[in-house]
Structures are given as C-alpha cells and as structure tokens.
C-alpha cells in the first residue's frame, strides 16, 4: 500500500474517532435541546424559553451537591459584583416590604452618592426616572437603580414626615393616683378626649432625589466602631490595647483590606481578635493569603479532586504581618463557612490562635465558576474538597451527625452559645457600627438610651478577650508587670 493511502486511512480514522466522541458528548445536549423545542412548539400554553432553560439547568445541578448551581444572567452579574466587591450604582441597600408595597431603603452606604443625595433609612422608592416602580419586585427596582458610572437617575421617594403632633393638654389623661383605686371608671375620660390625645397618623411626603451613579466599593473588613470621619477603628472601644477585626467575606479586595487594617494597628496591641462569625466564605486564595499573614511556616490548606488526588497545597511563607508572640483569638459560629473554616482550622492546627464561639458550618468544598453563553451566565461547580492541616475533614455531608468529623469546633472551654436576645443585640451593634445613617434611625426608635460596649452585649467576644488577657498576664515578665 502506498504511504499516501496509509496516511489518508489514519487521518480518516482519527476524524471518525473524534466525531464519535463529540457525538457521545453532544447527544445529551441534543436531547435537552430537542425537548425545549418540542415544549416551545406544542405545549398548550405559551412558554418562556429562558425559564425553560433555567429549569433544565436547575434540574441537572439538583442531582449534585448543594453548592453546585446554575447562575443565570442577572444573578451572575450580582454574583460577580459580590466577589469583586464593587458595582456601578448609587450605593444603597434596599429590601422588600412585608406588605408587598414599594421597595424600602435599608440604608445608604458610607460615602455613597445616595448618602450625599439625601437618602434616609426607611425611604420608599416609588418612581425611577419618572416610571412608577411602587409595585415592582425588588430585583426589577434594583436593575433600574444600577447603570453606567457617571449617568444620573432621578428617584422619587416617599418618606414619613419626621414630626408628629400630639395634644399638649395632657391633664385630661393624667396617670392615676398611686393611692386611688386602679379600676378605671367608664366616665373618667370620654372618647373624644382619648382621640384628641392619641398620636396622629404619620403623614408622608414625597421627595425627588437626583443621584449620579458611581463605582461603589463593598468593604469586607470592619472594626469595632467608626471614628468621626467614618473610618473604621480596629480596636475595642473599652480597651484599645485589644485589636479587633471583623471579616465579613473573602473577596478579591479582602487581602488588601486586611493588610491596611493590620498596618493601622502596626502590632501596637496586646492581643488581637479576628471575628469570622456570619462569614459564609469566598475565594480560596484569599483565605490562604490572609492565613499567611499570621504564620511563619506550616500548612494552610490542601485541596483534593476526584479520587482524592491532591490538586494544590497552600503553605505559609516566612514572615508575618502580626507578631507571632501576640496572643490571637478567632470567633466563629454556625454561619462561619468555607474560607472562614480554612482560616480558623489553619490557626487552630498550627497552634497560632484560640478558637471561640460555636461549631462552624462545615462546608469543605471548592467551587469553580465556569462561564456559559459567552459569559452571560455560569455554572458554579464543585471541583474539589479541602482539608485542614491536620488532614481532618471539614465538609459536612447531608447524612452527617453531630458526632461525625466536620467543621471547626472551638477549643476546650471556648464553646459559648448565644441566646436569641444576645444574637439580636450583636447583630444590631454590627449594623449601627457599619451604617451610621441607619444607626441614627435605630437609636431614635430604641427605648434603650444606655450605651453598651461590645463585650457587655457579646458573651463570645467577652470570653475571647478574657482569655487573651489571661495569656498576656501569663507571658508578661513580673518586672514588666510591676
């Protein structure tokens, strides 16, 4: 056989194998595509093709783990904004109202165009650029508020007038005499008198606010409180010798934010608290970078792909941003997940920090974001599991029990549960510290005029600080202590 013919046969065989492999992979997609077309053509009622596609993708990912999902267009854009910690908009947090009414402003962000334009917590958004949005769902209103940087948007808000009128003649409803019978006579105060002395229904006013959209940066690193310039102070107000940093997520900018916070502290503290409570995680490399700030050496985390094959190993590099001799505590709770568990497990296994609070969530998987439709949507797919330096498992499976190995458990004697009242107080304090505009509103609505420090209302933080101070006393020479 001539060599030329042999080459032709080999090329034809290679092409045939390639076509066969492609067909095998494409066949399921063809079936899904055919089903979508048949439904679109013959179903008894009109259908939304995009809704069908989303349902099909959700059906596929529902057979995987709970962290794998299809992210459609609008949600993908929002997801990217959260990871990148920035978006183009006016800088407000909005929420749906309980009665299905207009979208409500939760709070304008510090330094945002919305704050400068005069937005207040509680404002109801009724019009955007003249269009009535009072009955639109939250996502539709949010989309209209966002837009290219530098463009302007006119927003009509409805807000309660800040003054209420009451009858100044209070003698008619004076408090009963302490020595008198507490039984109220029907004739003591007539109906007209009661009506005159009730607080009048709060009237509303509408305001037109013009805002220029800007690039809004979302911060992930917070302190105990803000100073007069709205800058975070990374020290406890009641004891400035104790550093305090709260990390809310692990985004693209979190590493630089953490570096700036530690640079501000400049190791000028006796002990440090890193608060990871409520932090649902984020980027793996960010968790590794932040862990490296506290370690001179040692393993941070290891990831393994299908079959337990080690994909990557993150180890600490020489040098730290925090003096290794400084006592260090980490706070976690049941909502501390993923990257939060990487940091807390790393510090615990390397004996660098005490861990205080309650057992973490138990999310020990790594997801990759795989773009679809030329970047208009994406598939969030679990591709690996990660393991703490000790080699122990972190991920909590669906059938796991409390006795199984998963998550991060606080050190001995450091488990501190929070009751519902304490949870509310801690969440309120975080909100007041993060959003000064909202803090004013909350203080005006609160009956509690007393000022409480962080450790007074937060038993977990109090335990961490007490433990740090005990460690400080144990390591301080007597001559220095004197």
Query: Quick one: tokens of 75?
Result: 């949600």
Separation between Cα atoms, residue 434 and residue 93, nearest integer Å: 12
Q: Which of 112, 338, 340, 360 is catalytic?
A: 338
* Tokens 């037109």 -> residue: 208
The H or E element that residue 70 is part of is strand 69-71
Give me the catalytic one of 123, 239, 275, 349: 349
Q: Is residue 363 among the annotated active site residues?
A: yes
User: Quick check: 126 and 102 in contact, CB under 8 A?
Assistant: yes
Got the DSSP string for 430-475? HHHHH-HHHHHHHHHH-S------HHHH-HHHHHHHHHHHHHHHHH
390 tagged catalytic? no
Could you give the angle at which helices 3-42 and 49-61 cross, rounded to 10 degrees? 110
Which two three-digit tokens encode residue 204?
Answer: 């509303």
| Phi and psi at residue 351, to the nearest 5° | 55, 35
Strand 310-315 versus strand 299-304 pairing type: antiparallel
Show the tokens assigned to 212: 């220029």
Query: Annotated catalytic, 444?
Result: no
Q: Are 329 and 470 in contact (CB under 8 A)?
A: no
User: Which among 127, 253, 326, 363 is annotated as catalytic?
Assistant: 363
The backbone torsions φ and ψ at residue 324, rounded to the nearest 5 degrees and listed phi first, read: -60, -20
Helix (H, G, I), strand (E, B) or coil at 215: strand
d(CA 218, CA 221): 9
**C-alpha torsion angle, residues 173, 175, 179, 180 (rounded to 10):** 30
Burial 307-319 (b: 16+ CB within 10 A, else e): eeeeeeebebeee
Positive or negative CA dihedral for 25, 28, 29, 30? positive
Q: Which residues are catalytic?
A: 338, 349, 363
């Amino acid at each position: 056989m001539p060599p030329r013919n042999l080459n032709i046969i080999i090329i034809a065989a290679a092409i045939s194998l390639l076509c066969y492999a492609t067909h095998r992979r494409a066949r399921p997609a063809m079936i899904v595509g055919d089903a979508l077309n048949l439904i679109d053509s013959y179903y008894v009622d009109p259908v939304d093709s995009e809704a069908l596609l989303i349902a099909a993708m959700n059906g596929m990912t529902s057979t995987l783990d709970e962290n794998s999902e299809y992210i459609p267009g609008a949600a993908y854009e929002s997801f990217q904004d959260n990871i990148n910690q920035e978006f183009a908009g006016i800088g407000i947090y909005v929420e749906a109202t309980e009665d299905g009414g207009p979208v409500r402003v939760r709070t304008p962000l510090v330094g945002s165009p919305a704050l400068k334009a005069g937005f207040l917590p509680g404002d109801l958004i009724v019009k955007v650029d003249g269009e009535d949005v009072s009955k639109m769902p939250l996502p539709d209103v949010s989309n209209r508020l966002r837009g290219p940087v530098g463009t302007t948007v006119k927003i009509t808000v409805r807000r309660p007038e800040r003054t209420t009128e009451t009858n100044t003649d209070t003698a008619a409803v004076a408090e009963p005499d302490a020595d008198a019978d507490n039984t109220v006579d029907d004739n003591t105060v007539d109906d007209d008198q009661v009506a005159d002395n009730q607080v009048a229904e709060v009237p509303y006013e509408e305001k037109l606010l013009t805002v220029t959209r800007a690039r809004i940066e979302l911060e992930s690193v917070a302190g105990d409180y803000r100073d007069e310039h709205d800058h975070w102070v990374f020290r406890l107000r009641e004891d400035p010798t104790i550093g305090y940093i709260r990390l809310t997520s692990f985004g693209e900018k979190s590493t630089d934010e953490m570096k700036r916070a530690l640079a501000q502290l400049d190791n000028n503290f006796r002990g440090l608290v890193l608060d990871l409570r409520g932090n649902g995680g984020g980027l793996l490399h960010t968790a590794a970078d932040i862990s490296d700030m506290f370690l001179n050496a040692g393993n941070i985390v290891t990831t393994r792909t299908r079959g337990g094959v080690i994909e990557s190993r993150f180890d600490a590099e020489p040098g730290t941003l925090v003096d290794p001799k400084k006592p260090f505590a980490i706070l976690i709770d049941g909502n501390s997940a993923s990257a939060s568990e990487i940091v807390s497990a790393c510090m615990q296994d390397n004996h660098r920090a005490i861990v205080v609070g309650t057992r973490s969530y138990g999310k020990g998987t790594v997801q990759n974001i795989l773009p679809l439709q030329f970047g208009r949507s994406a598939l969030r797919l679990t591709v690996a599991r990660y393991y703490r330096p000790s080699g122990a498992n972190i991920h909590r499976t669906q059938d796991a029990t409390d006795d199984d190995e998963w998550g991060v458990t606080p050190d001995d004697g450091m488990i501190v549960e929070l009751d519902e009242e304490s949870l509310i107080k801690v969440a309120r304090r975080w909100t007041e510290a993060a959003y000064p505009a909202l803090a004013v509103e909350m203080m005006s609505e609160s009956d509690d005029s007393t000022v409480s420090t962080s450790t007074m209302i937060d038993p977990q933080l109090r335990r961490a600080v007490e433990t740090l101070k005990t460690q400080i006393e144990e390591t301080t020479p007597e001559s220095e202590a004197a």
